[in-house]
Amino acid sequence: MKVVTTIKEMQALVAREKASGKTVGFVPTMGFLHEGHLRLLRQAREENDLVVLSIFVNPIQFGPNEDFSTYPRDFERDQSLAEGENVDYLFYPSVEEIYPSSTSVKLTVHQRTGVLCGKSRPGHFDGVATVLVKLFNITMPTRAYFGKKDAQQVAVVEGLIADFNIPIQLVPVDIVREKDGLAKSSRNVNLLPNERKQAPVLFKSLQTAKEQIERGERDPKVIRKTICRMIEAETDAVIDYVEIYIYPELTPLDQLAGTIIIALAVKFANVRLIDNIILTI
Ligand code: AMP
């Protein structure tokens, strides 16, 4: 595995490989790798000749009071995990390499962002879209792999690729969870010990909602109440949102039907966690 830190070298390496007919699978991450990221890398490895992993904690997708400075980082550990997954190139640029000076074009995502994390984190998806356009042009992948843990991100990237005619296949990958159901996240290390014990309730509440739907409940308000009650009763977390939308359009619904997402975000003392399930009714 080769670690690449400059845009110029990354573009030259991929261009050479693609000229010899190789397909490229790209996995963009912010590092502090866990089993969720590794699942993406494994699928990319199976489906492509070449695997490119990027590790970049993107400052412009964090709000002023968010956790950019405390976001966990451990490059050496990430490097050995990536080697273990047979990654070909690890793109690890500095912030200055990606954002060298003031820019003349600004991307604004205006659909699928007025709800969920887009509403709670203004500007977040503008930052995500901007960095992805740059990373796509730097790594020129055939396929790009994204986790359904960030289901709104998948919906936004789908729109980005379609709107800008980007010749990349988007591959959404299922959520990887801890044994107790907590969705794996780099941020889980910032949970306090008692919060870590409470956190599986998030997925448990989504499972309970799913069972309620399977028993015939079709009112989104009832489902939402079930989830909120469980989280409020069993955790110290403050609910940011519990919402149900049509997926991937993220439009509201009066009755549960078709493909829907039940998504939640909660704030513990030092960390905000998200989770979701996507169901077809
Ligand atoms: P991040 O480093 O948090 O930006 O995540 C990089 C990619 O890994 C994103 O596409 C995430 O959706 C995906 N990812 C993060 N956690 C998980 C998980 N538990 N299961 C599946 N994919 C995940």
The pLDDT tens digits for 100-115 are 987 888 899 999 999 9
219 C-alpha to ligand 1 centroid (Å): 30
| Position 171 pLDDT exceeds 90 | yes
- Position in ligand 1 atom list of the atom nearest CA 184: 19
Q: pLDDT tens for residues 18-51?
A: 999 999 999 999 999 999 999 999 999 999 999 9
**Please, how many CA atoms are within 13 Å of residue 217, restricted to the half-sphere of its CB?**
14
Q: What is the predicted pLDDT for the residue at 102?
A: 78
pLDDT for 72: 95
Query: What's residue 82's pLDDT?
Result: 98
Whether 29 and 150 have beta carbons less than 8 Å apart is answered as no
- In a 13 Å sphere around the CA of 88, the CA atoms on its Cβ side amount to 19
Give per-residue pLDDT as tens, 160-169.
999 999 999 9
Q: Is the CB of 37 under 6 A from ligand 1?
A: yes
The architecture in CATH of the region 2-173 reads 3-Layer(aba) Sandwich (3.40)
Token pair of 71 as six digits: 């976001």
The mean predicted confidence, pLDDT, of the chain is 97
Ligand 1 pocket test: pick from 26, 27, 29 the residue with the most ligand atoms within 8 Å of its Cβ. Answer: 29
**H/E stretch holding 144:** strand 143-147
pLDDT exceeds 90 at position 139: yes
State mean pLDDT over 139-144. 98
Distance 62 CA to ligand 1 centre (A): 16
All structural domains of the chain with their residue ranges:
2-173, 186-273
Long-range contacts (CB closer than 8 Å, 24 or more residues apart) made by 106-113: 106/130, 107/133, 109/156, 109/159, 109/160, 111/159, 112/152, 112/155, 112/156, 112/159, 112/248, 112/249, 112/250, 113/152, 113/156
200 close to ligand 1 (CB < 6 Angstrom): no
Q: What is the CATH number of domain 186-273?
A: 3.30.1300.10
pTM of the model: 0.97
Segment 241-267, tens digit of pLDDT: 999 999 999 999 999 999 999 999 999
